[in-house]
Chains A and B, each alone.
Chain A
Amino acid sequence: MAKGPFKNKILLGLLSAVTVMFFFSFLLVPLYNVFCEVTGLNGKIYGPSDFFKKQDEIKEREINIKFLSTVSGAAPIEFYPSVQNLLVITDTVSATTYIAENKTNKKITVSIVPSVSPGLAADNVKKIQCFCLDGDIVLEPYEKQEWPLRFFIDSDLRKNVNDVYLSYTLFEKDREEVMVMKHEH
């Protein structure tokens, strides 16, 4: 009585729904990134962007940029912006640097994650050159590096936003002992 094509069809439908939903959960990952990009959620920034864009309306104004740095997990690295504040004019390229110094006798591999606040301004921060796009960076023992950052703020930035915070978090990915000749006394 309960057997028949009807039952199998529902069963099949339900099983495929389960499968679809399982893969949907993985699909949420790229979907979320698209969503973030559109809405500026989390202040995520993607890719270098082209400088040559529409110039129809020029509404030059000054934006105060503040630079933040965070070292994740108290890695033995000093990481800080070379300047704290920068007054920039919209649609004009500005440059600054961040400094990272390995405080150990080990080789340390790091990566940098950017974030912008307010999140909605993330879309208007156009990076031409950023160490955060370089992937893993290796710091030799005691090495001090200066990392360039070139960007501009496009004039589409919302009118009521005058302060933009650019934040970079340094994550330590690998730490390697370096063999050195030790002086025995």
Chain B
Amino acid sequence: MKNKLKLLILYLIPFFASADWLDLNMPVGVTDISKEVFELHMLIFWVVVGIGVVVFGFLFWSMWKYRRSNNKTPAKFYDNHKLEIIWTIVPTVILILMAIPASMTLKKIYDHEAEEGGIDIQVVGWQWKWQYKYLDEYVDEAGNKQLSFFSNLTTPQDQYEFNRVEKGENYLLEVDEPVVVPINTPIRFLITSSDVLHSWYMSDFAVKQDAIPGFINVAKTKINVPGVYRGNCTELCGERHAYMPIVVEAVTREEYDAWLQEKRNIAAELAYLTEKEWTVDELLATGEEIYTLRCAACHQADGAGIAGFYPALAGSDIVINDKARQIEILMEGVRGSQMQSFAEQINEVEMAAVITFTKLSWGNGTEADSELVIPKDIVDYKNREDT
């Protein structure tokens, strides 16, 4: 018996070994508002704890004191107007005292005062990823191409779906492209949705705003501490609701500027990449990466799809025989289905690579008998309008 108990305790120690499980409370966060919200939360918490101690204390004491074995004859009273008035007024006063700081904090959150040097980022919720558009930043010299990218979950399916490999530290809280923002700068997130409702939730900023198709919601923040902050979607948006995390990287102004420059460099490099000769192996490697990140969630890693929801790519006639239609589907999406247009979501190289990957995987075809797709094909497709 004792040994068993020992074993149980030994088993429980590593179970509780990580310190994370002790995070029982709301994070204080890294903005002035989040700190204020935290204090408000703690204030109300202690008020209700106080009320609880008094009420339950009285209840338990009465339960013990007036048990049948201790008190044979019950009292007969059934009202007391003075008491009833008191216990209506006292809670009212407590509530008013709680409402005052709450209303003031709320007003502060809603303050529309413009601040100098702010950054505007449009956030668009998608099934199931986030898109970020930096309203005043461009990646080309001419100022035609806005800085805009999609942020996808990078946790591999091997970790969450098949549980084949150990889960990483930031399991389900990691993305390919985090939103990078400078600290000590007012930031406005202009939140909307492209399909169903989503909600942009970043606990460390005390920000939670619903993303509603057709409407724009604003969430403001000003981050005080550099760091990587992780959040989630908090409005049920369908199957992969749990798989569209938010990652915000707060950096210094210099680092932010460097990041913007890097984005411009990458955009400039793309023109070269589409021109270059691609080997099949290179395409396959890139294609697999893109497929795993963007396609596998629906069409599955083995290309089998999910019957009734997502069509199979393995053995698909379009993938095997109809190169033009496959490009068209990727470029235009399929109306009335979950299949989106990927024209803006991935670049020409990535699209060519992922098509090539599907054509050569799951027994769909071999290098010899398949008509491959190279980046140039996609560029041509995009410029074909005058045919």
Q: B345 contacts A68, CB within 8 Å?
A: no
CA distance A95 to B218 in the complex (A): 24
Q: B332 contacts A104, CB within 8 Å?
A: yes
* B140 vs chain A, min Cβ distance (A): 14
CB of B343 within 8 Å of the partner chain = yes
Known: A70-B194, A72-B195, A74-B194. A115 touches B215 (CB 8 A): yes
**Residues of chain A within 8 A of B333, CB atoms compared:** 73-76
Known: A68-B135, A70-B194, A167-B192. A42 touches B335 (CB 8 A): no
CA distance A173 to B343 in the complex (A): 19
Of all chain A residues, which has the CB nearest B339?
Answer: A74
Q: A66 contacts B335, CB within 8 Å?
A: no
Count residues of A near B (Cβ-Cβ below 8 Å). 37
**Residues of chain B within 8 A of A84, CB atoms compared:** 135-136, 146
Q: A167 contacts B340, CB within 8 Å?
A: no
CA distance A175 to B195 in the complex (A): 18
CA distance A116 to B215 in the complex (A): 8
* A58 vs chain B, min Cβ distance (A): 22
**Residues of chain B within 8 A of A175, CB atoms compared:** 335
Known: A76-B332, A113-B214, A175-B335. A169 touches B385 (CB 8 A): no
CB of A49 within 8 Å of the partner chain = no
Question: Digit string of A2-43 for contact with B (CB within 8 Å is 1, else 0)?
Answer: 000000000000000000000000000000000000000011
CB of B124 within 8 Å of the partner chain = yes
Count residues of B near A (Cβ-Cβ below 8 Å). 35
Q: A75 contacts B341, CB within 8 Å?
A: yes
CB of A110 within 8 Å of the partner chain = no
CB of B331 within 8 Å of the partner chain = yes
**Residues of chain A within 8 A of B122, CB atoms compared:** 68, 70
CB of B300 within 8 Å of the partner chain = no
Question: Digit string of B325-361 for contact with A (CB within 8 Å is 1, else 0)?
Answer: 0000001110100001111110000000000000000
Q: Of B73-81, B108-116, B233-241, which stretch is located at the interface?
A: B108-116
* B139 vs chain A, min Cβ distance (A): 14
Q: Of A86-94, A123-131, A145-153, A154-162, which stretch is located at the interface?
A: A154-162
Question: Digit string of B100-121 for contact with A (CB within 8 Å is 1, else 0)?
Answer: 0000000000011110000010
Of all chain A residues, which has the CB nearest B114?
Answer: A162
CA distance A85 to B333 in the complex (A): 31
Question: Digit string of B167-203 for contact with A (CB within 8 Å is 1, else 0)?
Answer: 0000000000000000000001010101100000000
* B385 vs chain A, min Cβ distance (A): 4
CB of A165 within 8 Å of the partner chain = yes
CA distance A85 to B126 in the complex (A): 26
CA distance A73 to B213 in the complex (A): 10
Question: Digit string of B194-226 for contact with A (CB within 8 Å is 1, else 0)?
Answer: 110000000000000000111111100000000
Contacting A at CB under 8 A, from B112-160, are 112-114, 120, 122, 124, 126, 135-136, 146
Per a CB cutoff under 8 Å, which of A73, A103, A116, A171 touches B331? Answer: A103
Of all chain B residues, which has the CB nearest A44?
Answer: B215
* A106 vs chain B, min Cβ distance (A): 8
Contacting B at CB under 8 A, from A53-105, are 64, 66, 68, 70-76, 80, 84-85, 103-105
* A33 vs chain B, min Cβ distance (A): 14
Q: B112 contacts A74, CB within 8 Å?
A: no
Per a CB cutoff under 8 Å, which of B111, B146, B216, B218 touches A80? Answer: B146
CA distance A141 to B328 in the complex (A): 14
Question: Digit string of A154-185 for contact with B (CB within 8 Å is 1, else 0)?
Answer: 00001011110101010110010000000000
Per a CB cutoff under 8 Å, which of A73, A115, A116 touches B195? Answer: A73
CA distance A113 to B213 in the complex (A): 9
Of all chain B residues, which has the CB nearest A42?
Answer: B215
CA distance A71 to B332 in the complex (A): 13
Q: A117 contacts B332, CB within 8 Å?
A: no
Of all chain A residues, which has the CB nearest B192?
Answer: A70
Q: A117 contacts B331, CB within 8 Å?
A: no
Of all chain A residues, which has the CB nearest B386?
Answer: A142
Q: A74 contacts B344, CB within 8 Å?
A: yes
Of all chain B residues, which has the CB nearest A142?
Answer: B385
Q: A115 contacts B216, CB within 8 Å?
A: yes
CA distance A158 to B114 in the complex (A): 12
- Not counting A116-B216, A167-B190, a sample of 14 additional A-B residue pairs whose C-beta atoms are within 8 angstroms of each other reads A43-B215, A64-B114, A66-B120, A66-B135, A72-B195, A73-B194, A76-B331, A103-B332, A103-B343, A105-B385, A115-B216, A167-B215, A169-B192, A171-B214
Interface residues of A (CB under 8 A from B): 42-43, 64, 66, 68, 70-76, 80, 84-85, 103-106, 113, 115-118, 141-142, 158, 160-163, 165, 167, 169, 171-172, 175
Task: Provide a sorted-by-A list of 8 A–B residue pairs whose CB atoms are within 8 angstroms.
Answer: A43-B215, A70-B122, A73-B333, A74-B345, A75-B333, A76-B333, A169-B213, A169-B215
List the 3 shortest-distance A-B pairs measured between CB atoms, nearest first.
A74-B340, A142-B385, A162-B114
